[in-house]
Structure 1
């Protein structure tokens, strides 16, 4: 069975993104995280992506990544652009960037995708889709990238999640010279 790997950036005060509509644009991960992106960051991402052959994304992350990567022409972008993407959205009616919109019961659709042959599935960003995935026990690994920054405002990790307490087991810790610490957790 394919694994779903959740990978998300988190500030030390738990911020994962700006609020929507934006009232704290400084909380956007590409603004507070960028100063820490270095060779360690690239090497870790490359290692995680080695066994990945598909992406699972919520609408907001899908739109942001499609805009950021869709027009680039380099080996990393080429790989991301070619990779199949599954997008959970109640508002999108069509998708580009080699994406398929998941219809109906998202948890059931994701469970079917996990049963298909193939490599791991990366799930970038944490948001509304994660509530469904965690509630239905569909995430196999969580990679929380803790950045050495306090943002002070914005959407927090699993804010308003609404699912039951979920216990995890620490599987690994990776430390980067920049101060980023990635905690890898698996379900208990």
Structure 2
């Protein structure tokens, strides 16, 4: 069975994104994370991506990634652009960027994806979709990238997710020279 791996950038004060619609663009990970994106960061992303042959995305992450990646060139952009994507959304009626819209029960459809032959499925970002994934025990690994920055405002990790207390086991810690520390957690 394929693993579903979630990978999320987190500031030291637990911020994962701005609180759209706001003017706190400083809370967007591409702003506060960018100064720390170096060769170690790139290598980890490359290895994590290479372990997967599909992506699962919520609407917000999908739209942001589609805009950013479809306009880029190079080997990493080519890999991101050609990888099949599955998008969970209650509002989208169609997708582009090599993506399939998940129809019907998201938990059932994700479980079916995990049963198909192939490599891992990577889910970038944490958001509303996580409520369903965590409630149904569908995430096999969480990769929380803690960046050495305090943002001060924005949306917190799992804010509003609405699921019960969920215990995880620390499986691995990866430290980068830039100060990023990736904690890999698995269900307990």
- TM-score over 0.5 (shorter chain): yes
Secondary structure of 1:56's counterpart equals strand
Report what 2:98 is aligned to.
98
Residue by residue over 1:27-76, the C-alpha shift from the partner in whole angstroms, topping out at 9 and shown as x without a partner, is: 00000000000001011111212220000000000000000001212111
Structure 1: gaps (5+ residues): none
Report what 1:115 is aligned to.
115
Structure 2: gaps (5+ residues): none
Report what 1:55 is aligned to.
55
Report what 1:173 is aligned to.
173
Secondary structure of 1:150's counterpart equals coil
Report what 2:127 is aligned to.
127
Structure 1 residue 173: Cα displacement: 0.2
Measure, in 2, the Cα distance between the counterparts of 1:40 and 1:74. Answer: 18
Q: How many residues align?
A: 188
Measure, in 2, the Cα distance between the counterparts of 1:49 and 1:84. Answer: 12
What's the TM-score once normalised by structure 2's chain length? 0.98
Post-superposition, which runs of at least 4 consecutive aligned residues in structure 1 deviate over 3 A? none
Report what 1:22 is aligned to.
22
What's the TM-score once normalised by structure 1's chain length? 0.98
